[in-house]
């Protein structure tokens, strides 16, 4: 739990929140605002303290710290929760959402995903909210990518999982898992031809300098989750819980707006560093990747969620 639980009413409860990027990131900004509002609405009884820049360990490590109760909250990538509940993979499929708004509306809809998130409770993980984590696109040092044929033979760094390797195969390229810290040098020397990520990461990792062709394939929209130790909410009175949940819902919306603004800034910064942004034939890629949906939606629960997400398209 947070510090000061034993103290009197004067001592505020400060929750520790682990975050893997810097304090300027839209999610960090949204959480800081959430903390300010929470402090104000509870007369200073509750606040959040952010530990940014991965200083408490990588995201996988911070999940385990939440489980152990060493920290209270962590913002983590959706793919990592698949290791605890394999059905979580259904919401991380490529070409599943038509827009960030579509994504946020279904992933924060209790009726659609409530059952899925509850399954994580027995692992000691309480999903508080899903946040938009950007739209991932392909970038390359070779040239613009318009169709799957353009990716032929290109080694593109992907997240280390069979699903992501398979996705890149269907998209026409060669999915190559690699630790993020090695990617810059690997693209520079030619071990890799490119990678795939959202414009924020693309710009902040300086990958625009070595892989200047950023093509809007829009293949993945992987959510990030704010997770908590179950004891955190159990220790909160009803009134505060209501305030907290209201503020969480609002912060999901602010984060989405801030993310859009941050994408614009990142695109400008990357262009300044020499990047060329171009559109890709999204429909062609989507069709190429659709077989993956059938391969991975295999259980009754994932089928129900998949259908609900499809039904919520505008």
Partner 1 sequence: MIDPGTITAILVGGLVLLLAIGAPVSISIALPSALCMLLIVDFDRGAITSAQQMLGGANSFALLAIPFFVLAGVIMNNGGIAERLVNLGRVLVGRTPAPLAQTNILANAIFGTVSGSAVASAAAVGSTMAPMQKKAGYDPAFSAAVNVASAPAGMLIPPSNTLIVYSLAAGGTSVGALFLAGYVPGILWALACAVVVFVYARRHPDLKGESFPGMAVFLTTLWRAVPSLGLIVVAIGGIVAGFFTPTEGSAIAVLYALGLSFVYRTISVKDLPRILYDACRTSAIVIFLIAVSTIMSYVMTYARLPQLIAESLFGWTDSKVVVLLIMMLVLLVIGIPLDPTPAILIFTPIFLPIAVSYGIDPVHFGIMMVFNLSIAVISPPSAPVLFVGAQVAKARLEPVIVKLVPFLIVLIVMLFVIVFVPQLSLWLPGVMGLL
Partner 2 sequence: MATRKLMTTARAWLDGTLRAICVVLFAVLVLLVAWQVFTRLVLGEPSAWSEEAARYAFVWVSLIGIAIAVGEKADVIMDFLVERLPRSLQRVADIIAYLATLAFVLYVMVLGGLQQSMLAWAQKNPLLPLSQGQLYLVLPISGVLLSIYLLIHIVGTFSSRYVGHVGTPDEDLEAAAL
Distance between CA atoms of 180 and 168, rounded to whole angstroms? Answer: 17
Please tell me whether residue 75 binds partner 1 under the rule CB under 8 A: no
Give the shortest CB-122-to-partner 2 separation in angstroms.
9
Residue 155, phi then psi, degrees to nearest 5: -90, 110
The DSSP letter of residue 12 is P
Please tell me whether residue 184 binds partner 1 under the rule CB under 8 A: yes
Q: Which of 33, 39, 54, 87 binds partner 1 (CB under 8 A)?
A: 54
Please tell me whether residue 64 binds partner 2 under the rule CB under 8 A: yes
- Positions in 150-169 near partner 1 (CB under 8 A): none
> Which of partner 1, partner 2, none binds 61 (CB below 5-8 Å, type-dependent)?
partner 1
Can you name the residues that pair with 3 across neighbouring β-strands? Answer: 14
- Bridging pattern class, strands 213-220 and 276-279: parallel
| Alpha carbon distances (Å) from 291 to 162, 169, 266 | 14, 11, 33
Q: Which is nearer to partner 2, 91 or 106 (CB)?
A: 91
Query: Pick from 255, 261, 140: which is nearest to 200 by CA?
Result: 261
Distance between CA atoms of 228 and 249, rounded to whole angstroms? Answer: 15
- Positions in 200-219 near partner 1 (CB under 8 A): 203-206, 209-210
Distance between CA atoms of 287 and 23, rounded to whole angstroms? Answer: 38
- Would you give the binding string for partner 2 spanning residues 107-146, x where CB under 8 A is met? ----------------xx----------------------
Distance between CA atoms of 234 and 298, rounded to whole angstroms? Answer: 34
Give the shortest CB-23-to-partner 1 separation in angstroms.
7
Please tell me whether residue 10 binds partner 1 under the rule CB under 8 A: no
Q: Which is nearer to partner 1, 76 or 96 (CB)?
A: 76
Give the shortest CB-225-to-partner 1 separation in angstroms.
20
Q: Which is nearer to partner 2, 96 or 168 (CB)?
A: 168
> Which of partner 2, partner 1, none binds 175 (CB below 5-8 Å, type-dependent)?
partner 2
Structure tokens at 42: 């509870």
Helix axes 100-107, 238-272, angle to 10 degrees: 160
Give the shortest CB-134-to-partner 1 separation in angstroms.
15
Please tell me whether residue 154 binds partner 2 under the rule CB under 8 A: no
Distance between CA atoms of 248 and 72, rounded to whole angstroms? Answer: 15
Q: Which is nearer to partner 1, 16 or 132 (CB)?
A: 16
> Which of partner 2, partner 1, none binds 22 (CB below 5-8 Å, type-dependent)?
partner 1
Give the shortest CB-164-to-partner 1 separation in angstroms.
17
Please tell me whether residue 58 binds partner 1 under the rule CB under 8 A: yes
Look at phi and psi of residue 185 and say left if phi exceeds 0, alpha if psi is from -120 to 50, else beta: alpha
Please tell me whether residue 209 binds partner 2 under the rule CB under 8 A: no
- Would you give the binding string for partner 2 spanning residues 162-201, x where CB under 8 A is met? x--x--------xxxxxx----------------------
Distance between CA atoms of 119 and 91, rounded to whole angstroms? Answer: 15
User: Residue 223 CA to chain centroid, in angstroms?
Assistant: 4
């Amino acid at each position: 739990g947070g510090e000061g639980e034993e103290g009197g009413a004067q001592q505020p409860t400060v929750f520790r929140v682990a975050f893997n990027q810097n304090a300027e990131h839209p999610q960090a900004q949204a959480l800081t605002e959430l903390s300010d509002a929470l402090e104000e609405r509870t007369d200073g009884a509750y606040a959040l303290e952010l530990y940014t820049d991965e200083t408490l360990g990588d995201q996988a490590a911070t999940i385990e710290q939440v489980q152990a109760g060493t920290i209270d909250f962590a913002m983590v990538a959706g793919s990592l929760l698949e290791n605890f509940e394999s059905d979580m993979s259904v919401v991380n499929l490529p070409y599943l959402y038509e827009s960030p708004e579509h994504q946020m509306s279904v992933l924060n809809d209790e009726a659609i995903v409530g059952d899925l998130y509850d399954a994580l409770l027995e692992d000691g993980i309480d999903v508080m909210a899903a946040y938009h984590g950007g739209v991932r696109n392909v970038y390359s040092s070779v040239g613009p990518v318009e169709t799957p044929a353009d990716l032929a033979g290109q080694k593109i760094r992907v997240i280390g999982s069979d699903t992501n390797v398979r996705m890149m195969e269907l998209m026409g390229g060669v999915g190559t898992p690699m630790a993020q810290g090695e990617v810059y040098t690997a693209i520079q020397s030619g071990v890799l031809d490119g990678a795939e990520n959202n414009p924020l990461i693309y710009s902040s990792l300086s990958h625009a300098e070595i892989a200047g062709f950023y093509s809007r394939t829009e293949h993945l929209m992987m959510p990030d989750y704010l997770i908590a130790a179950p004891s955190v909410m159990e220790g909160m009175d009803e009134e505060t819980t209501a305030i907290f949940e209201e503020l969480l819902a609002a912060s999901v919306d602010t984060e989405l707006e801030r993310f859009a603004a941050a994408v614009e800034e990142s695109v400008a910064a990357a262009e300044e560093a020499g990047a060329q942004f171009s559109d890709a034939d999204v429909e062609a890629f989507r069709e190429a990747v659709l077989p993956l949906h059938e391969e991975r939606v295999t259980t009754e629960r994932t089928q129900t969620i998949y259908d609900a997400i499809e039904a919520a398209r505008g």
